């Protein structure tokens, strides 16, 4: 039986949607902070290896699974590799929902900063209810502004705005998604190019770019750098969460998925490259020091640079506004795909309406987003994350981001490589490919990628042994969270996967 699953109106629509999914917070917020944390140039070699050895082949595999079966991730895995593979598919869908919850929360803060650009973001005299920020600032401080925002209930309002936009775009599936990405994706390229031109033409902007691209051979020996690059690549290319398979399942069977993967990956990494240039040039021009969490670089270091960009207030405000507007639209074209993966999976398996599927996903995820924006102050001295919301987000991100994507990547390679047979997938992909894949593809899927991923996952786990992540800071009354969150995630996601795999299904 073929239910109305929807399909892309054009190949361009698909490429815009898939590249819109790939380009998001990962490219702007997380990439720059990872690249900085791992020492600029030291990040590049692992990053390129990750692109060619892991990213491209897995994207081909995930796209291929979608067109081959015409189904979303869990059912595609079931059809190609059996019920045990389906279980992993549902587990990844559950993780996608956890990630959606906090991804939208970050977008809510970005929205708040965007509004703040015309409020008091670039004005002196602000305070935030944390000990270090008790006195009004002498000049504008994006950091104090950010924490003052976090300590209010406004972000809760903003996440409802972002959720509303997501559901509006998703309401008619591919038809409405395509309409949105046709506007947002070109717009975000335009703004990013504008930003990089401004950054590089500043006096000294070029040195920042050089820092980012001067290879640093010493850093390469550090296992952490490789781990960082691998997870970054997975997240940035939207792999391991069922997204790309869902999007590809709306394409006709004869789509050239080798070519599509190359196109989407290069668009994504190209964007990441210029985003890196823009951010590092600002960083160097204003000699800013991005200490602290992943968010700090984009949420307060860059705005601080923008503040010094011009002495004319409205230009500063406009630039600040555009920077966060860019983050919001780039993030929105990703969050819709994060939600579409689970939605497509539920529609396929339970044969329910899109509206019902979206409700089942949105309600728990919205609760999650609200939890991540709770302004309750748990750490007055700001030794850690300050508010309860940001602490929940940080701990959830640590576990879900570091583990689920890579574990799913590992298992799907094993399932497709060994149960279905990598060669079967390769031949299916080659049937319509302008540049057919050689046998090296099988070797990558069966041996190389699983070995690399297993090594990275095990070494990450090994590093966790000394202390539970997040337990180093005293969060008055909430010190149980570092243990509770990973346990909750595991129990809920595995339970969800078990329940949905068990549900009877006839094709």
Q: Within positions 7 to 36, which residues make up the interface with ligand PHE, using CB under 6 A?
A: 21-22, 24-27
Q: How far is it, in rounded angstroms, from Cα 176 to Cα 168?
A: 8
DSSP letters of 312-324? SHHHHHHHHHHHH
Site string for ligand PHE, 278-317 (x = CB under 6 A): ----------------------------------------
DSSP H helical ranges for 201-242? 205-213, 223-236
Which of the ranges 192-200, 216-224, 235-243, 281-289 carries the binding residues for ligand PHE, by CB under 6 A?
235-243
Is the Cα torsion angle 25, 29, 33, 36 positive or negative in sign? positive
Phi and psi at 475, nearest 5°, equal -105, 95
Q: Within 10 A of 173 (CB to CB), how many other CB atoms are there? A: 20
* Binding-site size, ligand PHE (CB under 6 A): 14
Q: How far is it, in rounded angstroms, from Cα 184 to Cα 166?
A: 13
Which of the ranges 230-238, 317-325, 378-386, 456-464 carries the binding residues for ligand PHE, by CB under 6 A?
230-238
CB contact at 8 A, 418 and 446: yes
238 binds ligand PHE (CB under 6 A): yes
334 binds ligand PHE (CB under 6 A): yes
59 binds ligand PHE (CB under 6 A): no
Provide, rounded to whole angstroms, the least separation between the CB of residue 161 and ligand PHE. Answer: 19
Provide, rounded to whole angstroms, the least separation between the CB of residue 339 and ligand PHE. Answer: 9
Per-residue H/E/C for 45-63: HHHHHHHHHHHHHHHHHHH
Residue with Cβ nearer ligand PHE (148 or 238): 238
Provide, rounded to whole angstroms, the least separation between the CB of residue 331 and ligand PHE. Answer: 7
Burial class (CB in 10 A: 0-12, 13-18, 19+), 29: buried
Among the listed residues 398, 384, 185, the one whose alpha carbon sits nearest the alpha carbon of residue 296 = 384
Residue with Cβ nearer ligand PHE (59 or 143): 59
Pair of tokens at residue 274: 């210029």
Q: Within positions 472 to 501, which residues make up the interface with ligand PHE, using CB under 6 A?
A: none
Provide, rounded to whole angstroms, the least separation between the CB of residue 24 and ligand PHE. Answer: 2
E strand or H helix at 398: helix 388-399
Q: How far is it, in rounded angstroms, from Cα 357 to Cα 244?
A: 18
Q: Within positions 189 to 218, which residues make up the interface with ligand PHE, using CB under 6 A?
A: none
Site string for ligand PHE, 257-276 (x = CB under 6 A): --------------------
Pair of tokens at residue 428: 């299916």
Residue with Cβ nearer ligand PHE (148 or 245): 245
Q: How far is it, in rounded angstroms, from Cα 370 to Cα 389?
A: 8
Provide, rounded to whole angstroms, the least separation between the CB of residue 427 and ligand PHE. Answer: 28
Provide, rounded to whole angstroms, the least separation between the CB of residue 235 and ligand PHE. Answer: 5
By residue count, the chain amounts to 507
Residue with Cβ nearer ligand PHE (236 or 501): 236
338 binds ligand PHE (CB under 6 A): yes
241 binds ligand PHE (CB under 6 A): yes
Cα angle, residue 464 at apex, residues 417 and 455 outer, rounded to 5°:
25
235 binds ligand PHE (CB under 6 A): yes
Provide, rounded to whole angstroms, the least separation between the CB of residue 93 and ligand PHE. Answer: 11
Which positions lie near ligand PHE, rule CB under 6 A? 21-22, 24-27, 235-236, 238, 241, 243, 334, 337-338
């Amino acid at each position: 039986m073929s239910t109305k699953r929807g399909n892309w109106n054009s190949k361009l629509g698909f490429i815009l949607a898939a590249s819109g999914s790939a380009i998001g917070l990962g490219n702007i917020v997380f990439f720059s902070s990872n690249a900085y944390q791992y020492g600029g140039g030291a990040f590049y070699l692992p990053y390129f290896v990750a692109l060619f050895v892991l990213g491209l082949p897995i994207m081909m595999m995930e796209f291929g699974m979608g067109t081959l079966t015409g189904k979303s991730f869990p059912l595609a895995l079931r059809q190609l590799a059996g019920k045990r593979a389906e279980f992993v598919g549902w587990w990844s869908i559950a993780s996608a929902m956890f990630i959606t919850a906090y991804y939208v929360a970050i977008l809510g803060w970005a929205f708040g900063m965007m509004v703040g650009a015309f409020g008091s973001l670039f004005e002196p005299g602000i305070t935030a209810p944390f000990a270090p920020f008790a006195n009004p600032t002498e000049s504008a401080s994006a950091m104090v502004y950010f924490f003052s925002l976090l300590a209010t209930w406004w972000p809760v309002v903003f996440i409802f705005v972002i959720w509303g936009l997501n559901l509006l775009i998703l309401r008619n599936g591919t038809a409405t998604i395509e309409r949105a990405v046709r506007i947002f994706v070109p717009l975000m390229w335009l703004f990013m190019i504008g930003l990089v031109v401004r950054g590089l033409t500043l006096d000294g902007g070029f040195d920042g770019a050089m820092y980012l691209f001067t290879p640093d051979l010493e850093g390469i020996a550090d296992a952490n750098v490789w781990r960082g690059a691998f997870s970054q690549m997975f997240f940035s290319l939207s792999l391991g969460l069922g997204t790309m398979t869902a999007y590809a399942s709306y394409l006709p069977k004869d789509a050239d998925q080798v070519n599509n993967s190359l196109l989407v990956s290069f668009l994504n990494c190209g964007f990441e490259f210029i985003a890196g240039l823009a951010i590092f040039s600002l960083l160097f021009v204003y000699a800013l020091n991005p200490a602290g969490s992943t968010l700090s670089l984009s949420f307060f270091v860059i705005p601080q640079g923008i503040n010094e960009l011009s002495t004319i207030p409205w230009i500063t405000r406009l630039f600040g506004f555009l920077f966060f507007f860019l983050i919001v639209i780039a993030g929105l074209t990703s969050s819709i795909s994060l939600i579409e993966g689970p939605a497509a999976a539920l529609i396929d398996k339970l044969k329910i309406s899109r509206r019902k599927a979206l409700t089942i996903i949105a309600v728990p995820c919205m609760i999650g987003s609200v939890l991540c924006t709770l302004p309750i102050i748990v750490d007055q001295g700001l030794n850690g994350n300050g508010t309860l919301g940001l602490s929940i987000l940080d701990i959830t991100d640590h576990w879900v981001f570091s583990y689920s994507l890579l574990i799913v990547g590992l298992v799907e390679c094993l399932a497709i490589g060994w149960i279905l047979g990598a060669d079967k997938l390769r031949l299916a992909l080659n049937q319509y490919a302008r540049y057919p894949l050689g046998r090296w593809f099988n070797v990558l899927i069966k041996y190389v990628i699983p070995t690399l991923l297993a090594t990275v996952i095990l070494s990450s786990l090994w590093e966790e042994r000394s202390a539970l992540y997040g337990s180093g800071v005293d969060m008055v009354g909430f010190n149980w969270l570092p243990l509770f969150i990973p346990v909750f995630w595991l129990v809920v996601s595995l339970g969800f996967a078990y329940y949905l795999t068990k549900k009877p299904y006839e094709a």
